[in-house]
Amino acid sequence: VSTQSTWEAVVSTQSTWGAFGPIKMASLVARSAHRMFRPTMVAQRAASNRGVVYLGPGKVEIQKIPYPKLELDTPLGPRKCQHGVILKVLTTNICGSDQHMVRGRTTAPSGLVLGHEITGEVIEAGHDVEFVKVGDVVSVPFNIACGRCDNCKHGKTGICLNVNPARPGAAYGYVDMGGWIGGQADYVMIPYADFNLLKFPDRSQALKKITDLTLLSDIFPTGYHGAVTAGVGPGSTVYIAGAGPVGLAAAASCQLLGAAAVIVADLIPERLAQARSFGCYTVDVSSKVPVADQIKSILGNFEIDCGIDCVGFEAHGCGHDHKVEKPAQVLNDLMAITRAGGAVGIPGLYVTEDPGAADKAAQVGSLSLRIGLGWAKSLSFHTGQCPVIKYNRNLMMAILYEKVHVAKACNVQVISLEDAPAGYRDFDSGAAKKFVIDPHGVTKNNK
């Protein structure tokens, strides 16, 4: 059967903040003939849905939210989303970038349903979905991508041009990222399913390894992307700023890529201990000993081959200043310690608006960088969202064939949806854990 489709973009610069987050967005209007001889895929709808809702700085709670529909709210009114699916959420993770919002460091509105790290089971699919079926267990890249624009066709799915009226790129449950409802919930709708979703080849195997596979939606590919863009390869010496979950995932990625020495830096002792637990060297940035001197004690010289920033805009100073926020600290440190001709990967988040910043320049994302040093050393810098689809299948295979144990590296702790607010508090206090929310008790049933 041959089918032709015509796609026209409907673009709006307006959005409406609803009780459950932003719901107005730019989208693509599909006019396609129905596939002949195609079975209808419809699941029994659940009676209710719950989600983790941001209410203001320092406060999230579990609320009843609408059960998702295969619909998009557009400036022209609701329309069917036949390229989408509805997932029963099996696991959904608390991310450090969620914490930026919850701390009040972004312009996130009250009522936003959080969550962009999603793994789930397909329970309903639109008529235009061809390759994903009801019952499939899938990983959802946090980037929402149409698969049709020029950026998507060039593999730059982190900056899709058709899913956010405000700027290139979109994500679930995140401020200024297109108005898509978040996945820290019982159920969630996923658009452009054939392009976006990574189907696990064996359901039972996937459920047994779910605490590793859940990290494919964001932090494992993000950490790997940081390593790849920093030029990590066999024999590399690497400095990773930040021993949170992304930093630990980056460290595991560096080991997977064959790095000779992986140094992880942080100021929280428990996180440094977690990094050492799987073979990393550590630097304590709260120490009076300068970072370069600590590196020399490990490597015998002051420089590393590759630098990775897994901290972002809430960075703190070093030594005596470790309790003082200095948003450019990590980037300036990396320029100082990376060898001439080296590269710096920057998966850490930097924002265009930070209402909680200490100075007016930082409030609009303007930082005091020593760019002259970076230029003089011919350093390369790579910023922006990780294009998850570029890496997630290969990283899935590395997990399934026991080449990497990223859940152990990140110290995954599974919690219920009801315990999500406590998870946010513990994570914010510096817990050396990656909190994975299990709304339906799937992990307990598959141990």
Q: Record the tokens describing residue 28, joined without a space.
A: 């693509």
What's the confidence (pLDDT) of residue 33?
34
What percentage of the chain carries pLDDT values higher than 90?
Answer: 79
Within 130-232, where are the H helices?
Answer: 150-153, 193-196, 203-208, 210-213, 219-229
pLDDT single digits (tens) 290-340? 999 999 999 999 999 999 999 988 887 676 566 788 889 999 999 999 999
**Lowest-pLDDT range of 222-236, 301-315, 347-361, 410-424:** 347-361
Name the H helices within 217-304. Answer: 219-229, 245-256, 269-276, 291-299
Q: What are the CA-CA distances from residue 447 to residues 199, 206, 385, 429 (Å)?
A: 21, 12, 33, 29
Q: Give the model's pLDDT for residue 277.
A: 98
- 334 contacts 307 by C-beta, under 8 angstroms: yes
For the stretch 17-54, pLDDT in tens is: 333 333 333 333 333 333 322 333 444 454 599 999 99
Q: Of the ranges 37-51, 53-67, 411-425, which one carries the lowest mean pLDDT score?
A: 37-51
Cβ within 8 Å of residue 141, ≥6 positions away: 157, 196, 198, 217, 218, 221, 388, 389, 392
Cα distances from 363 to residues 178, 264, 358, 366, in angstroms, run: 22, 28, 8, 7
Q: Which residues face 140 on adjacent strands?
A: 118
Report the pLDDT value the prediction gives residue 447, as an integer from 0 to 100.
64
Residue length, the chain?
447
For residue 348, give both structure tokens.
């850490």
Q: Is it the case that residue 164 has pLDDT exceeding 50?
A: yes
With tokens 């015509």, the residue in question is 6
pLDDT at 40: 37
Q: Count Cβ atoms within 10 A of the Cβ of residue 204 and give its class: 0-12 exposed, 13-18 middle, 19 or more buried.
A: exposed
What is the average per-residue pLDDT within 374-401?
97
Chain mean pLDDT for the chain: 89
Question: Is 0.85 topped by the overall pTM?
Answer: yes
CA distances from 111 to 144, 194, 255 (A): 21, 30, 40
Please report the pLDDT score of residue 34 as a whole number: 34
Q: What is the mean pLDDT of residues 186-211?
A: 97
Residue 234 tokens read as: 């066999």
* For residue 4, pLDDT beyond 70: no
Distances (CA, A) of 90 to 213, 439, 447: 11, 7, 14
What's the confidence (pLDDT) of residue 444?
A: 82
